[in-house]
Structure 1
Amino acid sequence: MPIETEKAIKQLVIKGIKLPPQPKVLIALDAALSSGNYSMKTLAKVISTDPGITAMLFKIVGSPVFGNKKFDSLEQVLMLVGVKQTYNLVQAICLSTHISDSTRKSFEIFWTRSDEIAKLAALIAGERVSVCNIFPDQAYMAGIFHECGVPVLMLRFPEYCSTLNLDTNLCGPSLSLEDKHFNVDHCSIGYLIARHWKLPDFICKSILYHYELPREEPGVVRTLVAILQLAIHFHHRISHSENPVWRQIGAEVLEELGIASDGEQAYYEEISEHFLA
């Protein structure tokens, strides 16, 4: 990691904020891929050492996001979905199973919402791939990680949810309130977790900037942020809840993704139909 990233992580440690380490299955999978000496059978064996991750992987790849395909083995998943794409999905699954407190309902609500937004983002990326060149597995990973700093703060500060009024509505915590009360924000923490877990740079930056459409970053970052914001917006619509951020950047998001302003409703109906299938 760059020196500035290491310094930032050390500052978090001083504040008592711990970033989640990569689980053993992910470290082993990364080592196998880095060696270049692997087969589908050996990779499948590594993944299968964690039954929970294996079960969630089959659930995701068998969903509408990946065409409702039926997979009979992990080797088949690796061959048909792709090694890199499967690795990305395993990373996303690992995160949601390693930052949580099973005794707190708020974590369950948070990860359910993150998974739903990730699936919406993957559907949008799949439909827009020829325009945006972002693939479903990349969008899914960004969706799971985009607010992963929130559960870290929930673990560190017991009063976090009540202070930010998130006890019943775990979405879009205020960055200004986080900074005021805790002198840190979940976007920066999420970015550092992504760097710590060695995610692609454009995904790390999309997590850092997911509340805005950064003009200074490469186009791929701006496009991925747009996909995330549209997924969040559609999730609000499906949940019948207000999304104040959309009023500020909605027009730019649609333009970035090549969707006409008067075509939003039809596009929403298309994506939500697949999501709810």
Structure 2
Amino acid sequence: MTRLEEMVSHVHKLPAMPVVAMEVLQSMSGADTDIDALAKRIAQDQAIAARVLRVANSPFYGLQSRVGSIHDAIVVLGLSSVRSLVLAAAVITGLPGGRCPEFSQSRFWRHVLGVAAAARALARPLRRPPEPLFVAGLLHDIGRLAMMTIYPEELCGVLADAQTRDCTLVEAEFRHFGFDHSTVGAELARRWNFPAEIIDALAWHHDPARGVPGGLAGIVHYADAIAHALDLDGAETGQVPRLDAQTVDALDLGWEALNGVLTETRAGFDSFETLLG
């Protein structure tokens, strides 16, 4: 059994993906969605519903009147926006955090939400639907949470090693495990029956040339760099990852478009950050 197979065999140690998150993902498949039933199901989870409504009523959306229910949020913001927020709230509240001094759960989720905000902001200039981009950004580092839960002591060593050697976490993960969190995240996504485009993004966001051409991996790769450049996680030792040149050329964002993305990312992050507490 390889080390990766060993890790995946311990997936039972992870909490199940929240049911409402799985229902939201399934509703993205393109099949007709019963909005009333979905809104009722979301509202039954009061913790998630409260977080979603807090974001819906934030200045980012600029609503004239206060939204008081999930159903009203869907009517005003649209199903796509609400599904994205529900998935974010469900993942944040339902998945485990770190168990070592080197791992900051707050910084982890701030970075994840920053990448999700950046990916969503890229949707407009790239003329792509925003929902899959937001979801891919939100879930892109889920493999690292799995590694933390299954092998906490070793991942603590990875984090310390990255700081000591002043290298990226991906490099340190490969040195210790022989694979990185992208591989683990993609394998988990397969087991949880995530959409194929999300699996591909999780697998290749650090190496987008190996992903599906024109897929989400390159967009998440670019969004990851934006989140680091804006220092959204507040990490003192953060590094901006090196961008894949082919991805930059393929996205072909001019300075005006990029400035708009940076502004929208910052505003979106400030709103989504309220999901954390």
Do the structures match in fold with TM over 0.5?
yes
Question: Which of 86, 89, 95 is the matching residue for 2:82?
Answer: 86
Task: Please tell me whether the aligned partners of residues 92 and 144 of structure 1 are also in contact (alpha carbons under 8 angstroms).
Answer: yes
For residue 3 of structure 1, what is the aligned residue in structure 2?
A: none
Hey, what's the Cα distance between the residues in 1 that align with 2:19 and 2:266? 37
**Closer, same or farther: CA 267–47 of 1 in aligned 2, 3 Å:** closer
Deviation at 1:134, TM superposition (A): 3.6
State the AA in 2 paired with 1:117.
V
- TM-score under structure 1 normalisation? 0.73
- Match for residue 159 of structure 1? 153
* Residue pairs, 1:178-189, within 5 angstroms: 178-189=173-184
Maintained 8 Å contact 1:209/1:225 = no
Q: Which amino acid is the alignment partner of residue 187 of structure 1?
A: S
3-state SS of paired residue (1:165):
helix
8 Å contact kept, 1:96–1:144: no
* Equivalent residue, structure 2, for 1:97: 93
**Paired residues for 1:133-212 under 5 Å:** 133-135=128-130, 137-165=131-159, 174-212=169-207
Deviation at 1:118, TM superposition (A): 1.6
Residue number in structure 2 paired with 1:4: none
Map 1:251-270 to 2 at 5 A: 251-260=245-254, 266-267=259-260, 270=263
Match of 2:19 among 24, 38, 41: 24
Q: Tell which deviates more after alignment, 187-196 or 266-275.
A: 266-275
**2:214 maps to 1:219:** yes
Partner of 1:245, secondary structure, is coil
Structure 2 residue identity aligned to 1:120: A
What is the distance in 2 between the residues matched to 1:148 and 1:173?
A: 17
The count of residues paired between Structure 1 and Structure 2 equals 260
Cα RMSD of the aligned pairs, angstroms, is 3.9
Which moved further from structure 2: 116-125 or 13-22?
Answer: 13-22
1:98, distance to aligned residue in structure 2 (A): 1.9
1:76 aligned residue: 72
Aligned to 2:152, the other structure's residue is in SS state: coil
Any conservation in 1 of the 2:121–2:265 contact (CA below 8 Å)? no
Distance of 2:133 and 2:182 partners within structure 1: 17
The residue identity in structure 2 corresponding to 1:148 is: I
1:153 shift after superposition: 1.1
Q: Aligned pair 1:124/2:119, yes or no?
A: no
Give the share of equivalent positions with the same residue, in percent.
21
- CA shift digits 1:104-141 (9 cap, x unpaired): 6722331222123222322232x32xx34141x32221
- The 8 Å contact of residues 226 and 257 in structure 1, kept in 2 or not, is answered as no
Task: After TM superposition, list the pairs within 5 Å mapping 1:45-64 onto structure 2.
Answer: 45-63=40-58
Equivalent pair of 1:89/1:141 in contact (CA under 8 Å): no
CA-to-aligned-CA distance 1:247-272 (integer Å, 9 cap, x gap):
x42x5444333313x55874465345
8 Å Cα contact 1:238/1:272 also seen in 2 = no
AA paired with 1:12? M
Q: Secondary structure at the match of 1:21?
A: coil
Could you list the runs of 5+ residues in structure 2 that have no partner in the other structure?
272-277
Pair 1:236 & 2:231 matched: yes
After superposition, the C-alpha distances for 1:37-85 in whole angstroms (9 at most, x for unaligned) are 97433322211121111122223444566x3335232112223444355
8 A contact 2:185–2:202 mirrored in 1: yes
Distance 2:142 2:195 in 1: 16
In 2 relative to 1, CA 259–102 (structure 1 residues): closer, same or farther, beyond 3 Å?
closer
When the two structures are superposed, what TM-score results if normalisation uses the length of structure 2? 0.73
User: Matched residue of 1:164: which SS?
Assistant: helix
Give deviations 1:85-107, integer Å, cap 9, x for gaps.
53344233322222224876722
Compute the displacement of 1:14 (Å): 3.5
- d(CA) in 2 for partners of 1:33, 1:268: 25
Contact 1:146 1:207 in 2 (8 A): yes
| Change over 3 Å in CA distance of 1:244–1:86 after alignment to 2 | closer
Q: Alpha carbons of 1:30 and 1:233: their partners in 2 closer, same or farther (altered >3 Å)? A: closer
- Partner Cα distance (2:23, 2:205) in 1: 30
Q: Alignment partner of 1:219: what SS?
A: coil
Shift of 1:199: 2.6
